[in-house]
Structure 1
Amino acid sequence: MRTHRKASAALAVTAVLVMPTTTAFARDGSDSVKAEGWFAPPSPFQLSNALTYDVKKVPVGSRVSVVQQVREHTGEHTGERAGGTGIAVRFRVSGLLPDRMYGAHVHTKPCGRTPDASGPHYQNVEDPNQPSIDPAYANAENEVWLDFTTDAGGHGAAKSRHDWRFRPGGAHSVVIHEHHTSTASGEAGTAGARLACLTVPFEPTGVGTSTGTDE
């Protein structure tokens, strides 16, 4: 009986730790999408959409938010470069290591139990040779780069704006990397190890897409 109680208590604690950390998926009149959460390590339950793979560099409980805004017509939306057809992606984190450089990019697949589950970087014009390290394709204009440097309090932010939109179902996550992104030939687009990942339902979502799965 005592063993059963201990097991039940352990399960209850585990359940609290693996509660889904994505707290909001919101769409409003300005065609915006928001995802936010608190990073947790991968678990067998796979309930969290905000995952840290390196708890020293992206601590458990640190917070992340991503907002995508779609701009379609002049004057209908607020923000920089309003008008035309395009996207703006805004990224914020808190609770990370202070005064440290990180890389971050939009990736093609949802986060999963392993860092590689999120697939390659999203590219507006796809490089036929993957993984892409050709600066003609792996660059900040053709991909969504969100590199940032934290302040003394561990806060960081970045934004990226483009005159193109995601392909339906083509973008699913933002991955935090080890360091700022390289632009050198032969290593363009690389930013070191994948430290953490947030699944984001970027628009347009496509048909039959899913989030929070391993590949």
Structure 2
Amino acid sequence: MKTLAVAVAAALLFTGTAHADPAAVAYTFATFESYSDKAKAVTYDAKVPGGAKVTVVGVPSVGGRTTVLLVLKGLLPNRAYGAHVHVKRCGAAPADSGPHFQNVGDPVQPSVDPAFANPRNEIWLDVRTDANGFAYADSTVDWQFTDRHAQSVVLHNEHTHTKPGEAGTAGPRLACVNVAF
């Protein structure tokens, strides 16, 4: 885990992210498991095996930006997953984490309008695992969490769609990790 923490720190340095307030850094290191009140990371589907590892780090920068890094280990090999930051904590049911967090909220939910459901207004972290089930993604947006805070990252069944009427969708929710952004 120490090696992973060093890799995360190095990745953030290479993205040019400087801490605005170290106390505002959000992070979770967890293992996917079945739902319980104490679980940090929950799997709802065998496509995210119990025992797989997840790291999420969210860092605000001095310039008003936010970088989020997602690292996954032990997922199915050579597979695409969608991933997004969501508004609520993980729950017993996949839908409990609510909709995607949007900097500018779409008044129509679920949001499938590309004017709102896009990687500039939401945090998208789509990945493709390697032959060993390892994957990572990062996303930097030109805004920060202020009085509204996201609470989780959800892994979806497929990469995120972008067409009108389906923008932001990525299939069923497979797993969720709690992160206090």
Same fold by TM-score greater than 0.5: yes
Does the 8 A contact of 2:120 with 2:142 survive in 1?
no
Write out per-residue CA displacement over residues 144-167 of structure 1, whole angstroms, 9 at most, x where no aligned residue: 000000000000100000110113
Question: Taking structure 1 as reference, are residues 29 and 143 closer, same or farther at Cα in structure 2, changes over 3 Å only?
Answer: closer
Task: Select which of 67, 74, 78 maps to 1:99.
Answer: 78
Give the aligned partner of residue 33 of structure 2: 40
> Unmatched 5+ residue regions in structure 1?
1-26, 73-83, 203-215
User: Hey, what's the Cα distance between the residues in 2 that align with 1:167 and 1:187?
Assistant: 28
| Max Rg structure | 1
Question: Taking structure 1 as reference, are residues 31 and 109 closer, same or farther at Cα in structure 2, changes over 3 Å only?
Answer: closer
> Unmatched 5+ residue regions in structure 2?
1-18
Q: Does 1:163 align with 2:135?
A: no
The CA deviation at 1:30 is: 7.5
The number of residue pairs the alignment matches comes to 162
TM-score, normalisation: structure 2: 0.86
Structure number with higher relative contact order (C-alpha < 8 Å, ≥ 6 residues apart): 2
- 3-state DSSP class of the match of 2:33? coil
Amino acid at match of 1:32: V
* Alpha-carbon RMSD: 1.5
Q: Does 1:109 align with 2:88?
A: yes
- 3-state DSSP class of the match of 1:39? strand
Write out per-residue CA displacement over residues 9-31 of structure 1, whole angstroms, 9 at most, x where no aligned residue: xxxxxxxxxxxxxxxxxx98474
Give the aligned partner of residue 24 of structure 1: none
User: Hey, what's the Cα distance between the residues in 2 that align with 1:134 and 1:170?
Assistant: 22
- Name the % identity: 51
